[in-house]
Structure 1
Amino acid sequence: MMRSKLIASKEALENFQFVTINGRVIFNEKERVVRIARAYSQVVKSAIKPLFDGKSVDELTKEFYNILPNYVYLVTALKQARTITDGLLDREDEKGEIIHARIRKFWFASRGNRADKGNRNVKFHVLEDHVLIKVKDPWGKEWVRGKAYLGKEYLPLLHELEELAERKEEGYGAVISFKEKPMIHLQVPLWLYLKHFSSPKPNGYGLVAGFDLNSDRLNVVVVNKDGKVITTKTWWYSDVTRPGFPKEKARALRLNALSESLNFLSRIGVDYVVFEDLFLVRKKKFTRSKSGNRKVSRFAKKQMLIHGVIKSLRLGFNVMLVNPKGTTTSEDHERVMREKGFDRHTASAYLIALKGLGMLNDIK
């Protein structure tokens, strides 16, 4: 049986340290938790312009402490604002003007830390059918307590994480959000998640599958160790790009296509799956087409990538993320379309597979 591994850039690996587990939470004193969220959201919104103007997170920590008097909450909020600011700097329209941020979410977060026995501000204790939660109130001495329902299948994992945190061996991030009802989102270590939920597969035939993720389709090309094409396949979900198509339904269709493709690859003996390393791409490419821009802006490609990587690891595949340079517009891309008769998305999947094969050969 093979043990799955992830081969990727340093930038990408930083985004695959944790898996988020979501659940409903009921607080005894909801108004106290809402107060934290209001202060947190105010810090995020207020920090964007000064960060844009060049102020550092350290400078702003002192400036906003009177709004949110808790160092971990505050630094987490400021780093969230920094992420938003970096995204704005990367997304310029055709005139070179910065796209403005609209912060609609109502939430707060606390980063994890081993030294804080997992997390300084959000603690949990696993019981038989639910999880007790307590949240640090920056303005009060008493913790705010509640009950979280994260799914019974996650309780053994959370019990082990609780023990690791108590021994200062692992940390976990925590987010409390308020969209329709209070939710808790615990960020558990990826290795621990895979320990509890992966199903290692038997060794296949050393085949490599390249994925090209798109807003309306998923293209896969499988090659052998010599780079010869074994099969090509496309999963379509064209309806999701129609104006007004429900966002959650679109997401479900795309993720379902990913799951179907991985199950298919497992059956034919693929051992390695290859995706583009989107964490090396800094700008979204907008076009002159309004409908095209809608597809670009609404298609959460990076979210789909993260799902695909984690699902692949769970199913026992080795995963490689390759530099996307040249896989979409290049002389090689044009040549592959011309010589093999591939459409542009299949050609991209083929080049991604070859890049993965090259990376694999370099490692060997």
Structure 2
Amino acid sequence: MNKSEVEYITLRLPFHAIGEYARLVYWTVIKIGRKLCYDIIPNRRYIDGISTLIHASLQSAKALKVDIAKLELKPWLLFQSEAEPWAKGNLNIQFTSYNTVRVLVFEKDKSTRKITIKPVIPKGYTRLVQTLVDKALRKQIGYPARVYITDYGDKVEHLYGEIQVMVKHDFYLEVMKRYEKPLGNNIAGVDVNADRLNLVVINRNGDIVWRYTARFPQATSRGYPRKSAWSVIGEAIHSILNNAYSHGASVIAVENPEIIGYLRYYWVRNGERRTKNYNYKVTIFRNSIIEKIIWKSPLYGLQVVTVNPKGTTHSEDHEYVMRRYGLDKHTASAYLIALRARRNLHRP
């Protein structure tokens, strides 16, 4: 995957609804989840959202070579609506201001009404959301959006969820980019594991000029909150990218994740899938980290290349690099990834 293949990223904005609003959001989700969708929810945009989600889930399963018949999915509670620039971004799930979203919901008798939800905007997304809303209110941009329920009480007096907004990657880069140009012409290689990221920066002759490890063992600890885990991993990714940029890298290489649709429009995130196969879960977890590196690297002015992972671990080359340079196995893998990128870049 290269940068041009990353189309959308998802902003997850938590919210808390109480009383009548909580019940209306819940009832809308339940109605939209029924089989005879249009008979129960006479709203074309929400029906289109369901169709898109199902289609993209099947396409992603196909790309991952997963037998959809054997895949166990959580009973998602969500509804979504397509981007419509003419409707100030989105007709059914619409930002009316920076931190206010107006949502179309359904009563039990199918009548509609609009309610206001105030999501929490993470500090890191403040500028991005402000710019998105400003352009949308001027009918310059649209955004797909969904309401996703994460938890609710027995009588639905309280409901917790997320407003999930999809923004184009190009727009994300335009607003959030940190550095326009690299400081040098070096090549960085990153070896991704479930509990650490190893970085090696080499010059164009293949000499090591910098190495660095970012660890996050707590992210894979049993019972560690998923949101906290990804926060720690996000910090590690930015630390790796900042180190690569600061030590003159213009190119950053990662293993090809063998995933086609993971960051695409409506890909269902790995934390919301279930499987009994531990190795499968670890692979998907690693791939999701690689994908985040891919779409965050351009923020630092870095060109992303992917390499074939075959031979970067458990090979004669790997053993030789460990012995010659005194590297641990993960740093040796990062070095081989960087070398492979160097060879690929030198090919005509």
Structure-2-length-normalised TM-score: 0.74
Q: 1:162 aligns with which of 133, 151, 155?
A: 133
Counterpart for residue 215 of structure 1: 194
1:20 counterpart = 2:17: no
Residue 81 of structure 1 aligns with an amino acid whose one-letter code is I
CA distance in 2, matches of 1:109, 1:349: 40
Counterpart for residue 173 of structure 1: 144
Residue correspondence of structure 1 range 61-210 to structure 2 within 5 A: 64-86=37-59, 90=64, 98-126=69-97, 131-137=99-105, 139-151=110-122, 154=125, 157-180=128-151, 181-200=160-179, 203-210=182-189
Please state how far the C-alpha of 1:86 moved relative to its aligned partner.
Answer: 4.4
Residue 160 of structure 1 aligns with an amino acid whose one-letter code is T
* Matched residue SS, 2:197: strand
Shift in CA distance, 75/97, structure 1 to aligned 2, threshold 3 Å: closer
Please state how far the C-alpha of 1:355 moved relative to its aligned partner.
Answer: 4.1
Q: 1:309 aligns with which of 294, 298, 306?
A: 294
Is the Cα contact below 8 Å between 1:274 and 1:352 reproduced in 2?
yes
Counterpart for residue 235 of structure 2: 256
CA distance in 2, matches of 1:150, 1:207: 36
Task: Detail structure 1 runs of 4+ shifted over 6 Å in the superposition.
Answer: none
Please state how far the C-alpha of 1:213 moved relative to its aligned partner.
Answer: 0.9
Cα deviation digits, residues 97-129 of structure 1 (max 9, x gap)? 942323233222223233544223211122xxx
Cα deviation digits, residues 209-263 of structure 1 (max 9, x gap)? 1111111322222121233333333333445545555544443443333232223
Shift in CA distance, 104/340, structure 1 to aligned 2, threshold 3 Å: same
CA distance in 1, matches of 2:99, 2:290: 30
CA distance in 1, matches of 2:137, 2:85: 9
Residue correspondence of structure 1 range 274-353 to structure 2 within 5 A: 274-278=253-257, 280=259, 293-294=277-278, 296-297=280-281, 300-314=285-299, 316-328=300-312, 334-341=315-322, 344-353=329-338
Shift in CA distance, 149/250, structure 1 to aligned 2, threshold 3 Å: closer
Please state how far the C-alpha of 1:268 moved relative to its aligned partner.
Answer: 2.0
Q: Tell me the number of residue pairs that the alignment of Structure 1 and Structure 2 aligns.
A: 317
RMSD: 3.6
Please state how far the C-alpha of 1:13 moved relative to its aligned partner.
Answer: 3.8
Counterpart for residue 54 of structure 1: none
Cα deviation digits, residues 251-310 of structure 1 (max 9, x gap)? 344333323222322332222222233254699xxxxxxxx9535415622332343234
CA distance in 1, matches of 2:175, 2:311: 35
* Matched residue SS, 2:191: strand
Is the Cα contact below 8 Å between 2:195 and 2:217 reproduced in 1?
yes
Is the Cα contact below 8 Å between 2:13 and 2:119 reproduced in 1?
no
Shift in CA distance, 350/16, structure 1 to aligned 2, threshold 3 Å: farther
CA distance in 2, matches of 1:251, 1:268: 26
Q: 2:23 aligns with which of 31, 50, 54?
A: 31
* Matched residue SS, 2:39: coil
CA distance in 2, matches of 1:140, 1:212: 53
Counterpart for residue 49 of structure 1: none
* Matched residue SS, 2:89: coil
Structure-1-length-normalised TM-score: 0.71
CA distance in 2, matches of 1:262, 1:102: 34
Cα deviation digits, residues 299-324 of structure 1 (max 9, x gap)? 6223323432344333x231314143
Shift in CA distance, 360/109, structure 1 to aligned 2, threshold 3 Å: farther
Is the Cα contact below 8 Å between 2:15 and 2:120 reproduced in 1?
yes
Shift in CA distance, 307/294, structure 1 to aligned 2, threshold 3 Å: same
**Structure 1 or 2: larger strand share?**
2
Please state how far the C-alpha of 1:206 moved relative to its aligned partner.
Answer: 0.8
Shift in CA distance, 221/302, structure 1 to aligned 2, threshold 3 Å: same
Shift in CA distance, 251/150, structure 1 to aligned 2, threshold 3 Å: closer
Residue 319 of structure 2 aligns with an amino acid whose one-letter code is R
Q: Which moved more, 1:197-206 or 1:82-91?
A: 82-91
Residue correspondence of structure 1 range 40-55 to structure 2 within 5 A: 40-42=32-34
Shift in CA distance, 238/146, structure 1 to aligned 2, threshold 3 Å: closer
CA distance in 2, matches of 1:163, 1:245: 37
CA distance in 2, matches of 1:164, 1:23: 22
Identity %: 22
